[in-house]
């Protein structure tokens, strides 16, 4: 690949980031909810929900590990990529593969829509109960593997709302050469 993607880590509010696409840790209904999902819908305004309703009418929602894209509405980002992370059920039910699919499918949608920059929250580590250390490992490994396959995405930002996720991701990112 001709370019080298930069990976950043920030602690803050994903709805304020100046990137081409932000990833929403959505639920399968795409109708908004708590945590990151609720924050993105509130900050982005009604156009995001309108587009989500159209997607639901066409395809019946979004399955775990899959991703769909909408406008960014009132967000600084042009797009919101909604992905449904897995609920942690002990690790023997394909949760790590499903989480990796969230990152891969989100990055693929971003690249397909000519996004040069994308921001990810900590998918599934809140109410879905995915262990934060396992989730960080999956996120970093999946993102670093994917970005080696594309010239489109120039910057990936991991956005942590809490200090614990920030520290865990910092440790995993310290061990990679793409920074």
Active-site residue flag, 37: yes
Please say whether the beta carbons of 62 and 28 come within 8 A. Answer: yes
Q: What is the DSSP string of 134-161?
A: HHHHHHHHHHHHHHTT-SS--EEEEEES
Q: Which domains does the chain have, with CATH numbers?
A: 6-173 (3.40.220.10)
Counting beta carbons within 10 angstroms of the beta carbon of residue 159, is it exposed (0 to 12), middle (13 to 18) or buried (19 or more)? buried
What is the per-residue pLDDT for 177? 59
- DSSP-derived letter for residue 64 is B
Q: How far apart are CA 84 and CA 162, in angstroms?
A: 20
Q: What is the pLDDT along the chain (179 residues), one digit of tens a residue?
A: 344 669 999 999 999 999 999 999 999 999 988 889 999 999 999 999 999 999 999 999 999 999 999 999 999 999 999 999 999 999 999 999 999 999 999 999 999 999 999 999 999 999 999 999 999 999 999 999 999 998 899 999 999 999 999 999 999 998 775 54
What pTM was computed for the model? 0.94
- Report which secondary-structure segment, H or E, holds 81: strand 79-84
State the Rg of the chain over Cα. 15
What is the per-residue pLDDT for 33? 86
Q: How far apart are CA 122 and CA 130, in angstroms?
A: 10
What is the per-residue pLDDT for 176? 76
CA 95, 172, 142, 109 dihedral sign is positive
| List 20, 37, 133, 162, catalytic entry | 37
What is the per-residue pLDDT for 2? 40
């Amino acid at each position: 690949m001709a370019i080298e993607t930069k990976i950043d880590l920030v602690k803050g509010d994903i709805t304020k980031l100046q990137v081409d696409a932000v990833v929403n840790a959505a639920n399968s209904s795409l109708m908004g909810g708590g945590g990151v999902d609720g924050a993105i819908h509130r900050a982005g305004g009604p156009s995001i929900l309108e587009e989500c309703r159209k997607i639901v009418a066409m395809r019946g929602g979004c399955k775990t590990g899959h991703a769909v894209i909408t406008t960014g509405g009132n967000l600084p980002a042009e797009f919101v990529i909604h992905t449904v992370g897995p609920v942690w059920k002990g690790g023997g039910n394909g949760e790590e593969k499903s989480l990796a699919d969230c990152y891969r499918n989100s990055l693929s949608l971003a690249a397909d829509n000519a996004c040069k920059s994308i921001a990810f929250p900590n998918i599934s580590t809140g109410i879905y109960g995915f262990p934060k250390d396992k989730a960080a490992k999956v996120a970093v490994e999946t993102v670093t593997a994917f970005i080696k396959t594309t010239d489109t995405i120039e910057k990936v930002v991991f956005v942590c709302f809490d200090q614990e996720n920030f520290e865990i991701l910092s440790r995993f990112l310290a061990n990679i050469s793409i920074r």
